[in-house]
Structure formats: C-alpha cells, structure tokens
Amino acid sequence: MMAKAAMGASPPLETPVAVHIYVTFAIPPSYSKKRTEACLNGEQHIKKPDLTNIVKSIEDGMNGIVYKDDSQIVSIHAKKVWGTVGMVEVLVKEDII
C-alpha cells in the first residue's frame, strides 16, 4: 500500500536498484528508565523479528510496484534500532554504473 502511494502513477523501475531499509522498534513501556535510556543510547535491537525476514517482506511488497522484480536488487543496506516511535523507512535508488 505504501509502495503504491509512493510511486503514484510512475511505472516500476527496470534498472538495477539499491535498497536501504531502516527499521525502528518502539521501546516497550514496560522497560525501566535505565533500560530505555540504554536503548536510546545505541543498545542494539537483537530481539525478534529477524532483520532478514523483515527485509524479505519489504522486498516482496515492492515487487511489481517499485521495481519489476526483486532480482533487480543489486545492493541492500538494512538496520534495526530502538526508538521512541516504531517505523520503517525505505529508500530505493537506481544503481546504474
């Protein structure tokens, strides 16, 4: 749904693409103040879901909308972190030499 909104009337890309995915998980309200502070100061998010599963879901969701086929992806950068608000940010760029 978000990919369709972002692309508007533009056709799917047919060139090689680089995909950047940044996933922010909201810190649970049950975390102590000390633990929350640690999360906001760079503690790594090592809980489920697995980053690879998130990436694959996003890739599949953009298939046929942002690019014709996910085989066009030649580069991926992905990271998951803690934050105050949960969100997913995706950037897809043509990766033409």
3 near 61, Cβ under 8 Å?
yes
27 contacts: CB under 8 Å, gap ≥ 6: 36, 39, 40, 82, 83, 84
What was the pLDDT predicted at 40? 96
For residue 74, pLDDT over 80 is answered with yes
pLDDT, tens digit, for every residue of 29-64?
A: 999 999 999 999 999 999 999 999 999 999 999 999
Q: What's the mean per-residue pLDDT of the chain?
A: 96
97 confidence band (pLDDT: 50, 70, 90): confident
Phi-psi region of 15 (alpha: psi -120 to 50; beta: other; left: phi over 0): beta
